Amino acid sequence: MNIVDFRESYSQDFRIFDKFYKWGWIAFLVAGIVVLSQTSGDYGAYLLNLIFINIIAAVGLNILTGFTGLISLGHAAFMAIGAYTSSILTVKLGVPFWLALPASGALTGLIGFVVGLPSLRLTGIYLALATMAFGFVTDEIILQWQSLTRGADGFAAIPPIIFGMTFDSYKKYFFITFISLAILLFVAKNMTRGSFGRTLMAIRDSETAAETMGVNLGWYKALAFTVSAIYAGLAGSLYAHFILFVSVDNFTLLHSIGFIVMVVVGGLGSITGSVMGAIFITILPEIISFTKDYLPSAFKTASSLQAAVYGIILMLFVIYQPAGFYGLWVKIKNWWRTFPL
């Protein structure tokens, strides 16, 4: 068993997987997931789609909050912008899905940039509050701009049509979200393992030193917002054509908090962590409703039980396992590696 790894080239330091055979595991995993999506019935496919969309959103938020240290409580609002943009483009303007998706991402990214510009002057709690306010205001604007968004009635989106094929079932839609996820994860990993990721982390750890090293704080903070908004916008667009109905009720402060929970529980500053966190939080309601029957009847209300568990998990993780699932994963790996056998 290899306790010590010898690197023989610089590229080994920053490759995604340092050993080639690990890609084999990935291929295996991919095959498994594809099989699972087609064989686990409608509900399984629904869940997988939802997990992938949440991973995309969580990864975007992690780039902003985990890597750059900028707290955002308005992430769901960016998703809403993406979702509505995509729905309006496809339904009202007849734009095909494969165009509407990137367009939604781009528009949301632009708005993210504008929101990120003033973030230079706001730190910590002030930024959190500003983004929270942004969320409220955005939701309200969407509600009131009835001519565009149909307000409180919500907006019905249409299933994507690509190459003449209509993706109107969860099983078919799975491929869209899966491929999107693969691409976006690859991009996220690339951005964070190179100098961009280091620059963001530098801003998080010491703004003064980063500036001294030549980092233009305002620009990079705005860029971080842009990237996270693009991810949220894409997630929103994917969500819209998946659920086929968008309304602001799906993009409230509680949802923004939900994404924060995913990122924190998964591990701030780790892409892999966000994947784990998103998976866990998405299937948590299922776990809760499963175990609900074994609990005394005082806890019967599904929604409060779920919320209570959310809150407790969040607190426990921050206090006892601040590195999140990823930290746990690293600990287990190291324990395994150094096991005296």
Partner 1 sequence: MIVQQIISGLAVGCVYGLIAIGFVLIFKTTGVINFAQGEIMMLGAFVSFTLITFFNVPFILAFLLTPIICGGLGILLERVLIRPLVGEPVVSIIIVTIGLSITLRAFAGMIWSYDTLDFPHLFSEEAIKIGSIVIAPVDISVILITLGLVILLFLFFKFTTMGISLQSSAQNPLASLLMGISVKKVYSMTWAISAMVGAVAGMIIAPITFLSVNMGFLGLKAFPAAIIGGFNSIPGAIVGGVIIGISENLAGIYLPPWVKDIFAYLVMMAVLMIRPEGIFGTHEQKKV
Partner 2 sequence: MKFLSIRDLTISFGGITAVNNVSLEVKEGEILSVIGPNGAGKTTLFNCISRLYTPDRGKITFQGQDLMKLKAHEISRLGIARTFQNIELFTNMTVIENILLGRHIFRRSGLLSQAVFYGKAWREEIEHRRKAEEVIDFLELQAHRNKRIGRLPYGVQKLVELGRALALEPRVLLMDEVSSGMSLEETQDLMIWIKDIREDLGVTIILVEHDMRLVMGVSDRIAVLDYGKNIAEGQPGEIQANQEVIKAYLGESNAVVGS
Binding mask 220-259 for partner 2 (x = CB under 8 A): ---x---x--------------------------------
**Residue 132: Cβ within 10 Å count:** 18
Which residue lies nearer to partner 2 by CB, 155 or 231?
A: 231
What Cα–Cα distance (Å) separates residue 289 from each residue in 51, 70, 223, 292, 305? 18, 34, 40, 5, 9
Q: Is residue 120 within the footprint of partner 2 (CB under 8 A)?
A: no
Q: Which of 113, 175, 178, 299 binds partner 1 (CB under 8 A)?
A: 299
Give the C-alpha separation, 115 to 110, whole Å: 9
What minimum distance in Å lies between the beta carbon of 7 and partner 2? 10
239 neighbors 56 (Cβ within 8 angstroms): no
Q: Which option in partner 1, partner 2, none does residue 198 bind, with CB closer than 5 to 8 A by kind?
A: partner 2
Task: Say whether residue 216 binds partner 2 (CB under 8 A).
Answer: yes
How many binding residues for partner 2 (CB under 8 A)? 31
**Nearest residue to 281 (alpha-carbon basis) of 308, 303, 261:** 261
Measured CA to CA, the distance from residue 153 to residue 155 in angstroms comes to 7
Closest CA to 74 of 136, 142, 152: 136
Structure tokens at 98: 């494969």
CA distance 285 to 261: 14
> Is residue 210 a contact point for partner 1 (CB under 8 A)?
no
Residue 295 as a binder of partner 1 (CB under 8 A): the answer is no
Q: Is 10 in the site for partner 2 (CB under 8 A)?
A: yes
Q: Would you count residue 208 as binding partner 2 (CB under 8 A)?
A: yes
- Select the span of 137-145, 161-169, 170-178, 182-190 touching partner 1 (CB under 8 A): 137-145
| Residue owning tokens 């997988």 | 48
Residues that bind partner 2 (CB under 8 A): 10-11, 13-14, 187, 190-191, 193-196, 198-199, 201-202, 204-206, 208-217, 223, 227, 269
